[in-house]
Structure 1
């Protein structure tokens, strides 16, 4: 768990945000729960380090935010914007962490058993089509990732979203049964087989 240092910001609007960015700070907002939204700012260097070390875990792991050096709040990162040219963070949204609140969050897919995958041993290649899936659950039940075993997949096989084993209390609201991962044959082999057949 990281500790995020934040400061209250007074000014709102584009001008105030530009001024903050010139001071190497990033505008942020904290919302959720029964309390009012709080307009904050973060040190850009600290935020970049946090994004680099925690990565997608910021969306799925509770973090502690210290506001103005004394108010401590449990938060989840909800969204952030990156400048398309500079690559610098432009704005960050945090949500107060309420363990009983039902939230929807994108959770990473983590593959396992690749070393014993039937299709890979047969010359196929894994194609992870969906790197994240959106889950719905209580904040306290939020998994860090969803683990998917590919051990039994043969060339041409796929695992779909409805095949995923979900932890208790975690749901996926997917209208389409989209493909998460598949094993594809190498093109050269497929062409050879077609000629031979």
Structure 2
């Protein structure tokens, strides 16, 4: 479980947020949970947050985080929003939702392809194309899978795997077009093969001397 230290902040608004960032901190908010609990405005240490994001990668969105809030104990939460600067890519705001294992939530999950060594399309020289890199699923917060693994065992050139073909973990649902293509196996075009072939050497054309 990732651990992030946080501090309560009293002020809100753009001015307060800018000052926090100048001080090397990132504004954040913690919401959700029982009605007896109120939203908390927080700030995080930028370096610690960047280190956590580097270690956890995209999986940070599907992992329970322990927020250690100075003077207010700990809270288990999910990271539900991460805003980054369009130029620097550094975090500018984080949204946390209190963790309730039985609460039904929507979450984006990365898609991973497995069994490539048993894919006849790849052995025949085909190209495996992952059309969708992630999908939105509905599940309980306490049962979020780290990824959706899609097997390409037996996938031939010209064939595809659609949303309807995917076997989801128990208790997980996906809403959307069941005909949506997730993975497809395509062959190498003839012109691509020709481009990779060595060119034939040019032959000189004999010339007939002109009569004088």
TM range (shorter): over 0.9
1:21 equivalent in structure 2: 21
Q: 2:44 aligns with which of 37, 42, 54?
A: 42
Deviations 1:19-72 (A, max 9, x none): 000001001111111222111111111111111110122111111111115511
Q: Which runs of 5+ in 2 are unaligned?
A: 195-212
Count residues in correspondence.
Answer: 192
1:142 equivalent in structure 2: 144
CA contact (8 A) 1:5 1:69 kept: no
How far residue 176 of structure 1 moved from its aligned partner, in angstroms, is: 5.0
Alignment partners' CA distance in 2, 1:114 and 1:88: 35
Q: Look up the SS of the partner of 2:171 in the other structure.
A: coil
Q: CA RMSD in A?
A: 1.5
Q: Look up the SS of the partner of 1:168 in the other structure.
A: coil
Choose 63-72 or 118-127, whichever is displaced more.
Answer: 63-72
Choose 139-148 or 95-104, whichever is displaced more.
Answer: 139-148
Q: 1:127 aligns with which of 126, 129, 137?
A: 129
CA contact (8 A) 1:105 1:136 kept: yes
Q: Look up the SS of the partner of 1:155 in the other structure.
A: coil
How far residue 152 of structure 1 moved from its aligned partner, in angstroms, is: 1.1
Choose 105-114 or 171-180, whichever is displaced more.
Answer: 171-180
Q: Do structure 1's residue 183 and structure 2's residue 185 form an aligned pair?
A: yes
How far residue 175 of structure 1 moved from its aligned partner, in angstroms, is: 3.4
